[in-house]
């Protein structure tokens, strides 16, 4: 469902240009669960932002369900982000003065979901990520890092996107909660046919995904699995 063709993104830093993404090509089937690993600063977040239409590539194209992102106007890109993408940011990026529930309701508000319906769905999602009910109405700048991370995951799932891009979704979680989040994501890919791409340093998470890519010096290579366990 997603086809990436020779993607390049370069930055000018001072007098030299750096290319964290330099000719990346790959394809992902619908409903697949894949991971990207790589050293810090290798360009994983940069690649994810290109796939999520947060940023525009220097060259190359991303084709989602036959639609080329490069050819879409800004208005359509906004719609794509709202409807098709669930993005979990590495820094969470919750709105600090809004409660957890309000944060999860935001994407649904933008999509025009009725207030009662979005409140109910937001509560369900927060329960799914195991956030204590008494913390649902707490302002997110008063939540711990791991709690914020789970709110961010719930927000990414709000509009039932067909592609979830998650930047280190388990980075701040204890092993047990991390396991649970991995389980949640893989059940989504199994049961709802959601395509999921996660960036991770977590070996156990990377091993649980169907496919695993390594980003190195701007190039993406698929890791060949030693064992065929799933």
Partner 1 sequence: MSVLARSVGNAFRNKIRTAAVVAVLAVAIGLALAMLVANQAVGAKVQELNASVGTTLTVNPAGGQGFEGGGEPLTTAEAETAASVANVTAVVGTKALRLQTATTADSSTATTQPGPGGGFGPGGQQATVSTNLMAAVDAGTLGNRNGSAGTTGATGTSGTTTQPSRTLPITATGIGAEVDGTGKALDITSGTGLGDYTASEAKALVGTSLAEKNSLTVGSTFTIQDKTFTVAGIFDAGTTFGNNAVYVTLPEAQTLAETPDELSTMIVTVNSMENVDSTKTAVQAALGTDKADVTQGQRNLETAVSSLDSVKNISLIAFIAALATAGIIILLIMVMLVRERRREIGVLKAIGARNRTIGLQFVLESLVLVALGSVVGAVIASLASGGIASALISSNTTTTAATTTQRGGGLAGAMPNGAVPGGGMPGGGMGGGQGGPFGGASQLLTSVTASVSPGVLAAGIAAVFAVAIIGALVPALLTARIRPIEVLRGE
Q: Which residue's CB is nearer to partner 1, number 102 or number 202?
A: 102
Least Å from the CB of residue 167 to Mg ion = 6
Name which position in 22, 32, 35, 45 contacts Mg ion (CB under 5 A): 45
Q: Which of 81, 85, 45 is nearest to 200 (CA)?
A: 45
Contact between 226 and ligand ATP by CB under 6 A: the answer reads no
97 lies in the binding site for ligand ATP (CB under 6 A): no
Report which of 168, 175, 174, 162 is spatially closest to residue 206, judged by C-alpha positions. Answer: 168
By CB under 6 A, residue 24 contacts ligand ATP = no
Residue 95 partner contact from ligand ATP, partner 1, Mg ion, none using kind-dependent CB cut-offs of 5 to 8 Å: partner 1
Q: Which among Mg ion, partner 1, ligand ATP, none contacts residue 11 (Cβ within 5 to 8 A by kind)?
A: ligand ATP
Is 119 within 8 Å of 125 (Cβ atoms)?
no
200 binding ligand ATP? (CB under 6 A): no
Residue nearest to ligand ATP (CB): 45
Burial (Cβ within 10 Å: 0-12, 13-18, ≥19) of residue 33:
buried
Region of 42-50, 112-120, 122-130, 206-214 interacting with ligand ATP (CB under 6 A)? 42-50
Characterize 186-224 residue by residue with b for buried, 16 or more Cβ atoms within 10 angstroms of its Cβ, and e for exposed. bebbeeeebbbbbbbebeebbebbbbbbbbeebebeeee
Please give the residue ranges that form the binding site for ligand ATP (CB under 6 A): 11, 13, 18, 20, 38, 40-46, 90
């Amino acid at each position: 469902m997603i086809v990436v063709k020779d993607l390049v993104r370069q930055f000018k830093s001072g007098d030299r240009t750096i290319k964290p993404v330099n000719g990346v090509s790959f394809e992902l089937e619908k409903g697949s669960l894949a991971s990207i690993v790589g050293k810090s600063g290798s360009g994983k977040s940069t690649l994810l932002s290109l796939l999520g239409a947060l940023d525009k590539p220097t060259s190359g194209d991303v084709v989602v369900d036959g639609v080329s992102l490069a050819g879409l106007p800004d208005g359509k890109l906004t719609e794509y982000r709202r409807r098709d993408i669930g993005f979990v940011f590495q820094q969470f990026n919750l709105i600090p003065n809004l409660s957890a529930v309000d944060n999860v309701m935001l994407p649904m508000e933008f999509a025009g979901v009725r207030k009662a319906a979005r409140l109910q769905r937001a509560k369900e999602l927060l329960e799914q990520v195991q956030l204590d009910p008494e913390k649902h109405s707490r302002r997110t700048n008063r939540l711990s890092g791991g709690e914020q991370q789970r709110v961010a995951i719930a927000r990414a799932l709000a509009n039932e996107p067909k592609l979830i891009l998650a930047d280190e979704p388990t980075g701040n979680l204890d092993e047990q909660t991390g396991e649970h989040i991995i389980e949640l994501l893989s059940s989504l890919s199994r049961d709802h046919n959601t395509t999921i791409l996660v960036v991770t340093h977590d070996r156990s998470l990377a091993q649980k995904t169907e496919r695993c890519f390594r980003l190195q010096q701007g190039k993406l290579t698929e890791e060949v699995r030693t064992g065929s366990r799933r």
